[in-house]
Amino acid sequence: MLINFESRWTRIAPTASIPPREGRAVTVAGAELAIFNLGERFVTISNQCPHQGGPLCDGIVSGAVVVCPLHGWRFDLNTGLAVRASLPACVETYPTRVEDGIILVDVAAARRIEPNEAVA
């Protein structure tokens, strides 16, 4: 295993390790992430469903939305925001890119869009 001191980007795995429209869990720098293969691109969110901690990596992918396998909460993979949830909720998203067939995630750049409670 290599230890990366310079870049903020962490090399995760070859793209082939995640089949299309599926997700996989990975732990990077103490954070448990779920990476999804959306066909034309890869996206990363935190793996824990804010509802009851369900593993989002195991959810069914519907376009750019993942459905938690435990109770069906839905999260937009682009923004991390819960879709049509009974309560406003969100998960972190992480910048993700592919280079030379390897998926890279920028763990330090976690982004969290707080759901606007006034709207919900």
Does 53 bind other proteins (CB under 8 A)? Our answer is: yes
Footprint of other proteins on 19-38 (CB under 8 A): 19-22, 24-29, 35
Task: Report helix, strand or coil for 78.
Answer: coil
Print burial letters for 44-68: b (CB count within 10 Å at least 16), e (below 16).
bbbbbbbbeebbbbbbebeeebbbb
Does 88 bind other proteins (CB under 8 A)? Our answer is: no
- Of 19 and 114, which CB lies nearer to other proteins in the complex structure? 19
Closest approach, Cβ 90 to other proteins, in A, equals 19
CA gap 103, 95 in Å, rounded:
11
Which residue is it, tokens 């049509």? 84
Strand partners, 107: none
Sites of contact with other proteins (CB under 8 A): 1-5, 8, 10-13, 16-22, 24-29, 35, 52-55, 58-63, 65, 67, 69-70, 72, 102, 107-108, 119
